[in-house]
Amino acid sequence: MATATLNGAVIGDEAAFHAACQAELGFPSGYSATIDAWVDCLSYLRDDDNMTRFKLKPNEVLEIVITDAKKMPADLLEEVSFCVGGINERYEDYGEKPALKLTLR
């Protein structure tokens, strides 16, 4: 399983979250640092669009691990969890297996 790890202790706001995600997930240089752009980038994990540094196989899952998750703003963490569910639903709508697993530590 592919894994990306984010340090929740240093993610104090949305800007820090997007900067950490861009660095760890390899989002393109033109990444607009919005939750909509985050969802879009993670919706192409099995395509050749190079929206992340990951290229998943058909049944592979990307685990996003957030360490010290309790130190992140609760509303941001809730939004990320909600979006992961929505992204997985998008994959299922296209007849694919869910591509993301969110692990909070």
| Predicted model pTM | 0.96
Residue for token pair 């929206």: 51
pLDDT at position 13: 98
Tens of pLDDT, residues 48-93: 999 999 999 999 999 999 999 999 999 999 999 999 999 999 999 9
Alpha helices in 1-105 (DSSP H): 14-25, 35-42, 74-93
User: Which letter, b or e, does each residue of 60-82 get, where b requires 16 or more Cβ atoms within 10 Å of its Cβ?
Assistant: ebbebbbeebeebeeebbeebee
2 three-class SS: strand
pLDDT value of residue 12:
98
Helix axes 35-42, 74-93, angle to 10 degrees: 40
* pLDDT tens digits, 10-56: 999 999 999 999 999 999 999 999 999 999 999 999 999 999 999 99
Q: Give the per-residue pLDDT at 69.
A: 98
